[in-house]
């Protein structure tokens, strides 16, 4: 815009160099895409697989408990040897450990899914910040009016305390 130009609300008055801000937006968009994919993967696959492993381990544990209880009854009736009872006890211990491991894995998958969702939220917040910075590279007219003075030329370094334009807004 030039001195004396008539301006309207929303007109771009000054466009600052936005290459860095634009690149930051693109980087933030890519980070959101990656975080969203990771969150989706943990939400869908991790939870389902860990739930299935836990169900399988639970079924194996139930079976091992039944076999051990039968073996104990048979041992008490002197129908099987101590070795056979010990074998069923070891199988029960293995099934119990596998169940505990599957339960821990399910809890871990849940934690990983929460971490992935948190990373997504963080990436989305960084994208919002980057977009705000990019928007700050454009100075727009707050209302209709006239440009009284223009104190900058293209390529001039803009500084926070420097006056770039003086406007006379309609109605003021």
Whole-angstrom CA distances from 42 to 2, 58, 98, 115, 126 are: 55, 22, 22, 10, 22
Tens of each residue's pLDDT in the chain, 172 residues? 899 999 999 999 988 889 999 999 999 999 999 999 988 887 766 667 778 888 999 999 999 999 999 999 999 999 999 999 999 999 999 999 999 888 887 776 777 778 888 999 999 999 999 999 999 899 899 999 999 999 888 877 777 888 899 999 998 7
Question: What secondary structure letter does DSSP report for 160?
Answer: T
């Amino acid at each position: 815009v030039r001195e004396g130009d008539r301006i309207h609300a929303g007109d771009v008055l000054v466009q600052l160099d936005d290459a860095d801000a634009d690149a930051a937006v693109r980087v933030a968009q890519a980070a959101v895409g990656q975080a969203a994919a990771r969150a989706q993967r943990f939400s869908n696959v991790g939870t389902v697989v860990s739930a299935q492993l836990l169900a399988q381990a639970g079924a194996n544990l139930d079976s091992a408990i039944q076999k051990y209880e039968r073996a104990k009854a048979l041992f008490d009736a002197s129908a099987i040897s101590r070795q056979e009872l010990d074998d069923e006890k070891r199988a029960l211990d293995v099934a119990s450990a596998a169940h505990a491991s599957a339960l821990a894995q399910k809890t871990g998958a849940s934690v990983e899914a929460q971490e992935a969702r948190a990373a997504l939220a963080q990436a989305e917040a960084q994208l919002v910040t980057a977009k705000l910075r990019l928007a700050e590279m454009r100075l727009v007219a707050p209302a209709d009016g006239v440009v009284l003075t223009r104190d900058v030329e293209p390529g001039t370094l803009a500084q926070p305390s420097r006056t770039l334009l003086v406007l006379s807004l309609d109605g003021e």
